[in-house]
Amino acid sequence: MKNNNANFAYALTRFFRFYLPGERGLSSNTIASYRDTFKQLLRYCDETEGIKPERFEISNFSRSLVTGFLSHLEQEGKSISTRNQRLAAIKSFFGFVKFEFPDYLQTAQEILGIRLKKKPVPVVNYLTVEGMALLLKQPDSTLRSGYRDMLLLALLYDSGARVSELTKIKIGDIRLQSPATILLHGKQDKDRIVPLSQKTAEIISHYLIVENLTTPEAQSRFLFTNRQHTQLSRTGVTYVLQKYAYQARVSNYAEIPEKITPHCLRHSKAMHLLQAGVALVYIRDFLGHSQISTTEIYAKADNLSKRKALEVAYQPVVPDISKEPSWNDDASLMKFLEELCKA
């Protein structure tokens, strides 16, 4: 039986303990993001409204309170994406409240009616094929650490993995027999198998032999670990990438963007597949996108293919101006132009 008079602490506890992991089946990362939203919201209410977290009730919610919180986030310098993520978490809570606690139905409807803020279309930051090759040349593969870093960068690019997927790879997820593949553990526990190039498979094979990771006992170990031999973090992957990106930028500034993240290598792989003529639907499946519309950003950003297509389209239409007479040879026309603006 539904409890119509539940307080905020009770409702929020049920939301996090039962609704999100049970009914919604959300991942631990998403739940952690929702948790951060309510920590920030309660801190905001304490500082601006004078309502202590332990005294906060659902009845304290209003449309103006939530929009004020969202404006506060933007004033702190948070992006529109972050603002929208916080709103999505709050709306998810009130989607739960309106059914579980009908006494707050009107408040829930007011807050559910707040719209996400439109954000500019992001610029796809990616490396050219030459830039990617330059980056992969930077680690010193004669050193044990350098070989590991080269493998990390090569696999991040070749698999198109998200950084969270890369750090979760275990030895047992890798198949080196032809055709070589790797199992990636994606968002919301959505796994996918992606192909690996022969070169990347060879690099992995050598690494496993050198690191003594070919035994059956090693199957459950993470492929990439830190100095404490525990799972490598996102921060660790970013550090490795930016270290070698700096070196590559010194070598050829034009090929390496100033701002580079692990996701940039995922973008690079998608763009190179598209430029090679691979259909968007296959790129969608390769990247693990749930909607083709997400993958379409690469088609919109692919200026190289657009330029080639336009050049082909213009060829039979645009005249060869090299065969046209020079206007300098037309004395009457030049005279006309010289006299045009004279008083």
Main-chain dihedrals φ then ψ at residue 76, nearest 5 degrees: -80, -5
User: Among the options 266, 267, 269, 272, which is catalytic?
Assistant: 266
95, containing H or E segment: helix 80-100
User: Could you give the strand order of the β-sheet that contains 191-195, starting from the edge strand earlier in sequence?
Assistant: 174-175, 181-185, 191-195
User: Among the options 175, 187, 192, 221, which is catalytic?
Assistant: 187
Cα–Cα distances in Å, from 183 out to 66, 160, 173, 189, 294? 41, 12, 5, 12, 22
Q: For residue 104, indicate whether it is catalytic.
A: no
Cα–Cα distances in Å, from 327 out to 14, 320, 334, 341, 342? 80, 15, 7, 19, 20
Q: CA–CA separation, 285 vs 289, rounded Å?
A: 6
Cβ-based neighbour number of residue 18 at 10 Å:
13
User: Among the options 83, 162, 249, 284, which is catalytic?
Assistant: 162
Q: For residue 263, indicate whether it is catalytic.
A: yes
Q: Measure the CA angle with vertex 87, ends 86 and 92; round to 5°.
A: 100
User: Among the options 86, 249, 267, 289, which is catalytic?
Assistant: 289
Phi-psi sector, 112: left (phi>0), alpha (psi -120 to 50), beta: alpha
Q: For residue 266, indicate whether it is catalytic.
A: yes
175, containing H or E segment: strand 174-175
Q: For residue 187, indicate whether it is catalytic.
A: yes
Q: CA–CA separation, 37 vs 34, rounded Å?
A: 5
Q: CA–CA separation, 243 vs 53, rounded Å?
A: 42
Mind telling me the catalytic residues? Answer: 162, 187, 263, 266, 289, 298
